Amino acid sequence: MTFSGYYSASGQLIRNATVLLDIDDATFLVDPMFTPQNEMPTVTDSPGVPEFLTTENQKRNPLVPFPNVDLSDDAVVVTHRHPDHWDEAAREELDADVPLFCQPEDADEFTDEGFTDVRPVNDEMTFDGITIHRTPGQHGHGELAEGMAPVSGFVFEGEQTVYVAGDTIWYEPVEKTLDEFGPDLVVLNGGEAQFDQGEPITMGVEDITAVREATDAEIVVVHMEAINHCLLSREELRAETEDVHVPEDGEQFSL
């Protein structure tokens, strides 16, 4: 376990969307991306270099190093297989028999990679007394979102309820998920990732503000400043929102 167990739901941002969640007595590693700094290609159709990045670290992803943290976990959860959520380094490092929860569309690929305990979540299943629900996501707008699909979020119901929204914008199914499960903690992927064409494919200030207005939950925003087409900085997000926690890499958070 990463924490002492004082909180029934807590977590730690590792980097980008890679998060450790401690829920009751189980630890979930979400969206592992283990590639060292600058060893993945840059997103070449990013619309511009944000002010908080330099020309040097714009060249290749991830833009920041992997922090020195304890990655002990009981299970892995992958919201979708885009390389900033599941990479070759994670595939090589994780134990082949780790319980691995995913969307059904991705299950065969994990099995082909040698994982022996792949658990596709159609609707819900349980693990160590925690109910895991798969929830919808929309990774952008219009045709771009269709091309980026499928993506999922997950809700973890234990003593407290945690909603990991995944790569999605604010849209009606996110609101319905908040209404249905009434989470205590919500983890959002911010960064307002964008390509040269089309609207953002992850949440920006307006999306996150909409979530803030729709729930009384603690809100934590991750997926920031690690991939070169994520154009929204932590500083800007903190300045333009209220009652939203934006952790640094390696930082722990709790209710």
Of the listed ranges 52-66, 142-156, 176-190, the least confidently predicted one is 52-66
Does the pLDDT at position 56 exceed 50? no
Crossing angle for the helix pair 205-214 and 172-181, nearest 10 degrees?
30
Q: What is the pLDDT of residue 8?
A: 80
Determine phi and psi for 234, rounding to 5 degrees.
-60, -45
Q: What is the pLDDT of residues 72-123, one digit of tens each?
A: 999 999 999 999 999 999 999 999 999 999 999 999 999 999 999 999 999 9
The rounded distance, in Å, linking the Cα atoms of 116 and 166 is 24
Mean pLDDT of 41-68: 71
Q: Which two tokens stand for residue 50?
A: 């944000």
Beta pairing class for 124-127 and 130-136: antiparallel
Query: Which residues are CB-neighbours of 74 under 8 A, at least 6 positions away?
Result: 26, 27, 28, 99, 127, 128
User: Which class is 9-246 in CATH?
Assistant: alpha beta
Q: What is the pLDDT of residue 2?
A: 40
Q: What is the pLDDT of residues 134-156, one digit of tens each?
A: 999 999 999 999 999 999 999 99
Domain residue spans in the chain?
Answer: 9-246
The rounded distance, in Å, linking the Cα atoms of 230 and 50 is 8
Q: What is the pLDDT of residue 197?
A: 83
Q: What is the pLDDT of residue 4?
A: 39
Three-class SS of residue 140? coil
